[in-house]
A and B are shown apart, each in its own frame.
Chain A
């Protein structure tokens, strides 16, 4: 059942739409307006233009580096989301970010666990309703 629009916009950056559809549908059903972007170049552009309307960012980590980042700094794309996160953080220090990734490396998780406005979730362990719960808690707080 669709809920009343919350008026909150979410930017969802992930290069693989097909594996994120269930998450997006769940968020939309919860009343969130979700803007999906599949590459970091467009996502940065979108963010710069719309940063004041974005209530929350959901970010994948393994994505092609595009022209915004280099292969070296992103570890051949394996950590593009980390570079994206650092860039966004400089523009919006208090924007809540949910990292939603397949990355299993504990060090990466620890790095984001130390961040204040950030939650680290692993895709295989995260039900869509759980993501929606995290989003609800984040935009409320």
Chain B
């Protein structure tokens, strides 16, 4: 921490913060990386703005000499924050209302790499009624959903998240799973059914066996009704 009489430590500290930001970004997985970038951009922009205001108030006559440099820093920080945010908003918006297949494909490329969990609903809707039906587009839609789910799983393995992911996977495959697993308990892991059985206890034994073979993991267990009219609330 910088103490009042240790102003000399500030420039090196700012350098350290820069390194910390860079290293954190490199170590942050998938989706968290982008959220971290947004947060840093927002903090940086506010920080720069604050320093500029203090500089103005403190420099009196000498401010005009420094102003172009500060304005440049401010412009870059603002452009960084605004650009990152706007591109994401525009791409998601355009994906829902595409002008051309080329733009749609380009936005899909982007969302495969940078899409977030919130985008899954839109992708699911597009998959059901795609504006363009070439093989590439259909494959890219699948890939985008798969990559987002992979990133989401990497991020959070808490019981709540596992349950939410299980419900999400069920929602995506409802028709098929209702038909295939009618009257059975299923265990969902990473968006796939990894085991099923008519008896819950038997299913739990299968899961434990898998955990012994493959190491610890959490799966979402749910019952598919025989009528396939609906399913019971999942339990872990």
Contacts and interface: CB of A to CB of B under 8 A. Distances in A.
B231 interface: no
Interface in A69-128: 71, 76-78, 102-105, 124-125, 127
A127 B80 contact: yes
Nearest to B80: A127
A10 interface: no
Contact of B113 (A19, A64, A77, A102): A102
Contact of A104 (B76, B87, B114): B114
Contacts of A62: 106, 109-110, 112-113
B109 A78 contact: yes
Contacts of A15: 102, 106
Contact of B76 (A76, A103, A127): A127
Interface stretch (B11-19, B136-144, B152-160): B136-144
B74 to A, nearest CB: 13
A6 to B, nearest CB: 22
A76 B113 contact: no
Contacts, number: 48
Given A15-B102, A16-B106, A76 B37 contact: no
Interface in A1-52: 15-16, 19
B87 A78 contact: no
B33 A77 contact: no
Interface in B115-169: 135-136, 139-140, 143
A76 B141 CA distance: 11
Given A16-B106, A104-B113, A104-B114, A124 B37 contact: yes
Interface string B62-93: 00000000000000100110011001000000
B30 interface: yes
A129 interface: yes
Nearest to A126: B80
Contacts of A124: 34, 37, 83-84, 87, 114
Given A15-B102, A64-B105, A78-B109, A104 B30 contact: yes
Contacts of B114: 102, 104, 124
A78 B112 contact: yes
A60 B131 CA distance: 25
Given A78-B143, A104-B30, A129 B109 contact: no
Given A124-B37, A124-B84, A76 B110 contact: no
Interface of B: 30, 33-34, 37, 76, 79-80, 83-84, 87, 102, 105-106, 109-110, 112-114, 135-136, 139-140, 143
Interface of A: 15-16, 19, 62-64, 71, 76-78, 102-105, 124-125, 127, 129
A-B residue pairs, 8 tightest by C-beta: A62-B109, A76-B139, A104-B113, A102-B113, A16-B106, A124-B84, A76-B136, A102-B110
Given A62-B106, A77-B140, A124-B37, 18 more contacts: A15-B102, A62-B110, A62-B113, A64-B105, A71-B135, A71-B136, A71-B139, A77-B109, A78-B143, A102-B109, A102-B110, A103-B113, A104-B114, A124-B34, A124-B87, A124-B114, A125-B37, A127-B80
